[in-house]
């Protein structure tokens, strides 16, 4: 499968001013919590004080006795999920794994799980009323640690979970919800062939996406049962679907409008508050607003699975990899939702190796239900493989980039997950990293360098777009994908490119679920690729329509009309090349007998068939993988264990960067998130399952002053399936930072610490331990 890929662009690849910029920097942009309606109530959610308990009873009477408390709800107000599978979801999801996150049903399975909710006339009144909801619990033993959860006598998180992937299927329920393996070649023969084998265990902690804007929504119900929801989300159509399924309200009665979004990173690809506000709005007959606090976001949204990964990897003296074995254990929290599949499938996707084996196990514990975070699952397992590769290269005395170049996958190679690679840019990215000045920078004492490569699959999925031409020839481009990473800019640029018009004349908008065709969620690095393809398709249809309108005005055959540089031009009496020369020279002027601009065509639209619009939809099959390579230099303070990032370099194959500044922003943002995960971010639970650092003070994402300028290099190996060569860019940036940082730190400190985060107390203890080992030796 191949198509002609355009390489000469007018707009794509430039850096126009972002359309959302002025509203964001002036504070005009409206985020989830910024909408207020007259008569609006405030919802407050009552949360479990226990990690595992039976809900014996819920008594709302004291709360309802307070003047101004208008409505209450609990799981009683939601339909029984039964065995229903969520229709239309990207992957199979059971309603019984989703509904209890909105309202616990019968049992609570983690601390701070939603149990009930109240709506009142003010925020403070709602909070006070929530305190007066009396919930009687019967506390059950809980389990927090994945190893403890797999013990025979462990408390069961669910009594109806039987391990998937084991043949024959187990007859006893357990907390091990999935255990599966993938293999190719002969793994033991591969290790027998190796001259050096590295075997080590790597731990990545449970963390949070750390989006700055908490979940927020307003829901309104009218007398006809029509529901309107305004919320910050990555997917308004997903909110519509999930709210319908969870509440039992007909999907067709729900309209969802996505607000501006202050970060999602995968964390806003599900619902937490929207169904609650909807039910409270239906019961009260008034609009209801719910804004999660930061504390609630940390405790009760979807954090990111921890992973313990054992890697065994072997190579010959010449550096050829002979065997790669990974065994990944993921904590999914209280429901099966971890990204164990991609973690297992993609751990070593960067490498050509005949003998591979990967095992993935997902374990349930009494912790919040894990959810997606940029390239879900890949950072955890890639962390392990990349650190092991660095150790292997070092042990063989081979430069880590050369080692990777020797073993990197390229077109035609078949990874463990079976789908042969088409044209990909891993080797080109490795070469670019090797040639970067930062890779040559001299290191001083207590400084170290780490390199890592990474893969992510990227998604396509379904998208729609509508284009309207205004009377002056300017355009509205409408899609249903919230702009979390620059999609409005790329939608406008792709439309401008196809039509050959200035990007400034295109106004991109994210519109509600009633106003555009279905769009899958903004996620999976898919929006510029898939929704962009819908925009390109609609723009192409519009271009054809414009040619027809011009032909009608000129009264010539459509074959006589060309579209050039944003204008219709007619061949009649003059060759197209000659006309182009005239247009370039400006001598054709504004001769409407030869040339019709967008504005002129738009002005005559009424006389030529009515308003100019085009709508298109796609189920994009053109997604192709992305690869990235990072280089990290650190300095370690041997007296305190503190790590400073000295230099950081991101290289990534973007296929074709539509708006390079946004691509660089994605690369830098992913690096920062990965650096945070490597050095300080982690969920700290006490022995009762209560999160101890539910705030940004003690959940330490990096601050700006922690970081150097993050250097970026965009590599462009075109996606062979996309007419402009575009690949998704949003997720792979978070895959290489953890191993790059961890390797750099261990090189600088002379340690072998692979239990992330590499926080100062842990690193100092490792430095002292390594020092003691050296003295003993």
Partner 1 sequence: MPLLQYEAPTSLAQARQALAGRSDAKILAGGTDLLVQMRLGLRDPALVVDIKHVPELMEITLGEQGLRLGAAVPGAVVTDHPEIGQLYPGFVEALGLIGSSQIQGRCSAGGNLCNASPAADCVPALIANRATCNIMGPDGERTVAVEAFNTGPASNCLAADEILVSIDLPRPGPRSSDAYLRFIPRTEMDIAVAGAAVALSLDEAGVCIDARVAIGAVAPTALLVPAAADALIGGTLDEDSLNRASAAASEAAAPITDKRGTVEYRKKVVGVLVRRAAGVAKARIEATS
Partner 2 sequence: MAKVIFPSDLQAFTGDTAEVEVTSVNYRDLVAELSGRYPALTEEAIRKHALAIDGMIIHNPFLEAFNSDSELVFFAKIAGG
Q: Does 5 bind partner 2 (CB under 8 A)?
A: no
Contact 524, 459 (CB under 8 A): yes
Q: Does 776 sit near partner 2 (CB under 8 A)?
A: no
Q: Are 146 and 308 in contact (CB under 8 A)?
A: yes
The least distance separating partner 1 from the CB of residue 773, rounded to whole angstroms, comes to 18
How far from each other are the two terminal CA atoms of the chain, in whole angstroms?
Answer: 59
Q: Is 688 in the site for partner 1 (CB under 8 A)?
A: no
**Do residues 219 and 281 touch, judged by C-beta distance below 8 A?**
yes
Identify what 152 binds: partner 2, partner 1, none; CB under 5 to 8 Å per kind.
none
684 touches, from partner 2, partner 1, none (C-beta below 5 to 8 Å by class) = partner 1
- Judged by CB under 8 A, does residue 171 bind partner 2? no
159 sits near partner 2 (criterion: CB under 8 A): no
Residue 639 binding partner per list partner 2, partner 1, none, with a CB distance cut-off of 5 to 8 Å that depends on partner kind = partner 1
The verdict on 162 binding partner 2 (CB under 8 A) reads no
CA angle 760, 762, 768 (to 5 degrees): 95
**Is residue 548 a contact point for partner 1 (CB under 8 A)?**
no
Name the residue among 464, 530, 477 with its Cα closest to residue 506. 477
Distance CA 311, CA 289 (A): 48
Q: How far is the CB of 676 from partner 1 (least distance, A)?
A: 10
Residue 50 found at the interface with partner 2 (CB under 8 A): no
639 near partner 1, rule: CB under 8 A: yes
Query: Would you count residue 141 as binding partner 2 (CB under 8 A)?
Result: no
> Is 247 near partner 1 (CB under 8 A)?
no
Among 693, 713, 750, 771, binds partner 1 (CB under 8 A): 693
Site string for partner 2, 357-396 (x = CB under 8 A): ---------------xxxxx--------------------
Q: Which helix (H) or strand (E) holds 583?
A: helix 576-585
Length of the chain: 777
Of 622, 200, 164, 206, the residue nearest 379 (C-alpha): 206
> Binding segment for partner 1 among 308-316, 373-381, 531-539, 755-763 (CB under 8 A)?
755-763
Among 103, 125, 238, 372, binds partner 1 (CB under 8 A): 125
CA-angle at 193, arms to 188 and 196, nearest 5°: 100
Interacting span for partner 1 (CB under 8 A) from 1-9, 602-610, 677-685, 717-725: 677-685
Would you say 595 and 613 are in contact if contact means Cβ atoms under 8 Å apart?
A: no
458 binds partner 2 (CB under 8 A): yes
Q: Is the Cβ–Cβ distance between 382 and 390 less than 8 Å? A: no
In the list partner 1, partner 2, none, the entry touching 705 (Cβ below 5 to 8 angstroms by class) is partner 1
Task: Give CA separation, 308 vs 135, 202, 381, in Å.
Answer: 37, 6, 8
Binding to partner 1 by residue 703, rule CB under 8 A?
yes
Task: Give the position of tokens 């919230």.
Answer: 482
| 679 is a contact residue toward partner 1 (CB under 8 A) | yes
CB 401 within 8 A of CB 433: yes
600 φ, ψ (degrees, to nearest 5) = -65, -40
Q: Which stretch binds partner 1 (CB under 8 A): 268-276, 374-382, 500-508, 757-765?
A: 757-765
User: Distance between CA atoms of 636 and 763, rounded to whole angstroms?
Assistant: 9
Nearest to 123 by CA among 37, 44, 189: 44
Q: Residue 652 touches which of partner 2, partner 1, none (CB < 5 to 8 A by kind)?
A: none
Among 96, 352, 543, 700, binds partner 1 (CB under 8 A): 700
Q: How many residues make contact with partner 2 (CB under 8 A)? A: 45
Helix (H) or strand (E) holding 503: none
Q: Work out whether 92 is an interface residue with partner 2 (CB under 8 A).
A: yes
Tell me the HSE value of 282 on the side-chain side, using a 13 A CA sphere.
Answer: 19
Does 709 engage in binding with partner 1 (CB under 8 A)? no
Dihedral (CA of 417, 524, 86, 478) sign: negative
Residues of 372-398 as b/e, b for ≥16 C-beta within 10 angstroms?
bbbbbbbbbbbbbbbbbbbbbbbeeeb
Name the residue among 21, 13, 15, 2 with its Cα closest to residue 497: 13
Q: What residues from 704 to 723 belong to the interface with partner 2 (CB under 8 A)? A: 721
Q: Is residue 755 a contact point for partner 1 (CB under 8 A)?
A: no
Give the nearest distance from C-beta 99 to partner 2 in angstroms. 18
Of partner 2, partner 1, none, which one sits near residue 214, judging by CB under 5 to 8 A according to partner kind? none
**Position 761 contacts partner 1 (CB under 8 A):** yes
Please report, as ranges, the residues that interact with partner 2 according to CB under 8 A: 1, 90-92, 165, 167, 180-183, 209, 265-267, 269, 339, 341-342, 345, 372-376, 417-422, 457-461, 523-526, 619, 621-623, 721, 731
Which residues of the chain form contacts with partner 1 (CB under 8 A)? 66, 124-125, 128, 295, 639-642, 679-680, 684, 692-693, 697-698, 700, 702-703, 705-706, 759-761, 764-765
């Amino acid at each position: 499968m191949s198509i002609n890929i355009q390489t000469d662009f007018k707009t794509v690849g430039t850096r126009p001013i972002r359309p959302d910029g002025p509203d964001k920097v002036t504070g005009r942009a409206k985020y989830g919590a910024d909408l207020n309606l007259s008569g609006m109530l405030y919802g407050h959610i009552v949360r479990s004080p226990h990690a595992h308990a039976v809900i014996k009873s819920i008594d709302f009477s004291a709360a309802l006795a307070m003047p101004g408390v208008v409505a209450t709800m609990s799981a009683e107000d939601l339909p029984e999920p039964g065995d229903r599978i969520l229709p239309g979801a990207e992957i199979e999801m059971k309603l019984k794994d989703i509904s209890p996150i909105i309202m616990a049903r019968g049992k609570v399975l983690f601390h701070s799980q939603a149990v009930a909710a109240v709506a009142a006339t003010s925020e403070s009144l709602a909070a006070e009323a929530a305190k007066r909801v009396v919930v009687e619990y019967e506390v059950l033993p809980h389990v927090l640690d994945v190893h403890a959860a797999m013990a025979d006598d462990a408390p069961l998180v669910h009594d109806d979970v039987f391990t998937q992937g084991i043949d024959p299927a187990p007859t006893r329920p357990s907390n091990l919800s999935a255990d599966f393996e993938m293999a190719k070649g002969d793994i033991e023969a591969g290790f027998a062939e190796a001259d050096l084998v590295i075997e080590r265990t790597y731990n990545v902690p449970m963390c949070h996406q750390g989006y700055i804007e908490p979940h927020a929504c307003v829901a309104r119900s009218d007398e006809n049962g029509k529901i309107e929801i305004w919320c910050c989300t990555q997917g308004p159509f997903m909110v519509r679907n999930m709210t319908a399924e969870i509440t039992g309200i007909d999907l067709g009665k729900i309209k969802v409008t996505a607000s501006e979004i202050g970060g999602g990173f995968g964390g806003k690809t599900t619902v937490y508050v929207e169904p609650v506000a909807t039910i409270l709005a239906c019961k009260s007959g008034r609009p209801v607003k719910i804004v999660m606090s930061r504390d609630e976001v940390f405790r009760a949204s979807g954090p990111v699975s921890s992973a313990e990964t054992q890697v065994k990897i072997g190579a010959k003296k010449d550096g050829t990899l002979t065997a790669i074995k990974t065994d990944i254990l993921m904590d999914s929290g209280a429901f099966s939702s971890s990204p164990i599949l991609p973690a297992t499938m993609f751990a070593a996707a960067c490498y050509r190796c005949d003998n591979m084996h990967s095992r993935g196990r997902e374990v349930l514990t009494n912790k919040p239900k894990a959810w997606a975070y940029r390239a879900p699952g890949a950072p955890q397992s890639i962390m392990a493989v990349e650190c092991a590769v660095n150790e292997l290269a070092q042990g063989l005395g081979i430069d880590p980039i050369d080692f990777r170049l020797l073993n990197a996958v390229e077109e035609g190679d078949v990874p463990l997950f079976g789908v042969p690679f088409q044209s990909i840019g891993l080797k080109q990215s490795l070469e670019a990293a090797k040639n970067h000045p930062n890779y040559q920078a001299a290191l001083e004492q207590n400084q170290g360098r780490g390199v890592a490569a990474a893969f992510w699959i990227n998604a396509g999925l379904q998208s729609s777009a509508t284009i309207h031409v205004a009377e002056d020839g300017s355009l509205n481009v409408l899609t249903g994908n919230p702009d979390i990473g620059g999609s409005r800019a790329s939608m406008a640029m792709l439309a401008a490119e196809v039509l050959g018009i200035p990007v400034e004349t295109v106004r991109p908008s994210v519109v509600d679920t009633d106003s555009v065709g279905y769009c899958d969620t903004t996620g999976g690095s898919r929006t510029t690729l898939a929704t962009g393809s819908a925009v390109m398709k609609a723009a192409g249809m519009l271009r054809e329509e414009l040619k027809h309108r011009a032909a009608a005005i000129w009264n010539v055959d459509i074959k006589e009309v060309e579209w050039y540089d944003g204008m219709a031009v007619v061949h009649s009496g003059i060759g197209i090349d000659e006309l182009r020369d005239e247009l370039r020279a400006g001598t054709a002027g504004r001769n409407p007998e030869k040339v019709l601009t967008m504005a002129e065509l738009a002005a005559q639209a009424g006389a030529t068939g009515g308003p100019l619009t085009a709508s298109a939809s796609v189920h994009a099959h053109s997604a192709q993988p992305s690869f990235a390579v990072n280089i990290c230099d650190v300095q370690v303070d041997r007296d305190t264990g503190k790590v400073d990032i000295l230099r950081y370099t991101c290289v990534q194959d973007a296929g074709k960067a539509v708006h390079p500044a946004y691509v660089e922003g994605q690369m830098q943002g992913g690096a920062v998130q990965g650096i945070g995960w490597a050095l300080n971010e982690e969920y700290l639970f006490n022995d009762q399952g209560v999160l101890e650092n539910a705030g940004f003070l003690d959940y330490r994402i990096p601050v700006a002053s922690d970081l150097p300028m993050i250097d970026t290099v965009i590599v462009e190996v075109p996606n062979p399936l996309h007419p402009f060569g575009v690949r998704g860019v949003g997720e792979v940036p978070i895959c290489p930072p953890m191993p790059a940082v961890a390797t750099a730190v261990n090189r600088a400190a002379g340690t072998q610490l692979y239990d992330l985060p590499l926080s100062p107390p842990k690193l100092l203890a490792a430095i002292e331990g390594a020092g003691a080992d050296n003295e003993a030796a």
